[in-house]
């Protein structure tokens, strides 16, 4: 049976540590996981942590072509059966909503034809800001699926909605998604 390919796009916020656990959970569930990181994500966790958990190279530089036979951001976009942006910061959500392509994460997303899921993580006031809500609504209209953040104690000391959903829950959603895909394909 073919392993499903999950591309995890990690943007920079304190919840990056949960993304490492997510890679571990997805790998344990039998998915082939590759990770793409923004520069700010690398301030929180090194690419090596994701490489160890995924057993795959980690991508972060649009111009670092690891395989000269392909263009990395196009190859990653084509490789993915599902793309998850987690944690998704207000910044990366804004870039996605406006079609920006100024780093490897955003160029890969623009080249993608696979379903894209976004799991926001940010301060509750940021999450409720009209600009962020506009950007989320635009992405909904564009067909992006959201994994809503949970409520609780936030890194900034606030309590409210903005916590990255737990890795176990995201993994469960991915497992159910692919299980449903297999069922609908008659396999």
Query: In the chain, what are the domains?
Result: 5-184 (3.40.50.1950)
User: Residues 11, 95: contact at Cβ < 8 Å?
Assistant: no
pTM here? 0.93
Three-state SS at 142: coil
Asked whether the beta carbons of 150 and 166 are under 8 A apart, the reply is yes
Alpha carbon distances (Å) from 136 to 1, 36, 70, 94: 36, 21, 32, 8
Catalytic positions, written as ranges: 156
For the chain, the straight-line distance linking the first and the last C-alpha, in angstroms and rounded, comes to 10
Taking only the tens of pLDDT, the chain with its 187 residues reads: 578 999 999 999 999 999 999 999 999 999 999 999 999 999 999 999 999 999 999 999 988 878 888 888 999 999 999 999 999 999 999 999 999 999 999 999 999 999 999 999 999 889 999 999 999 999 999 999 999 998 777 777 777 788 899 999 999 999 999 998 876 554 4
Query: CB neighbours of 147 closer than 8 A, spacing ≥ 6?
Result: 84, 86, 117, 118, 119, 165, 169, 170, 173
**Are 96 and 134 spatial neighbours (Cβ–Cβ below 8 Å)?**
no
């Amino acid at each position: 049976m073919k392993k499903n390919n999950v591309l995890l796009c990690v943007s920079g916020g304190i919840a990056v540590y949960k993304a490492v656990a997510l890679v571990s959970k997805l790998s344990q569930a039998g998915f082939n996981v590759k990770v793409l990181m923004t520069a700010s994500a690398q301030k929180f966790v090194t690419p090596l942590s994701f490489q160890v958990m995924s057993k795959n190279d980690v991508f972060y530089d649009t111009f670092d072509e690891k395989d000269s036979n392909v263009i990395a951001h196009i190859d990653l976009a084509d490789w993915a059966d599902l793309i998850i942006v987690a944690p998704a910061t207000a910044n990366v959500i804004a870039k996605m909503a406006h079609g920006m392509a100024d780093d490897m994460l955003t160029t890969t997303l623009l080249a993608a034809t696979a379903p894209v899921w976004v799991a926001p993580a940010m301060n509750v006031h940021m999450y409720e800001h009209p600009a962020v809500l506009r950007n989320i609504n635009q992405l909904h209209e564009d067909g992006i699926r959201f994994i809503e953040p949970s409520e609780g104690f936030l890194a900034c000391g606030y309590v409210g909605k903005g916590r990255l959903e737990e890795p176990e829950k995201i993994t469960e959603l991915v497992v159910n998604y692919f299980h449903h895909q297999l069922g609908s394909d008659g396999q």
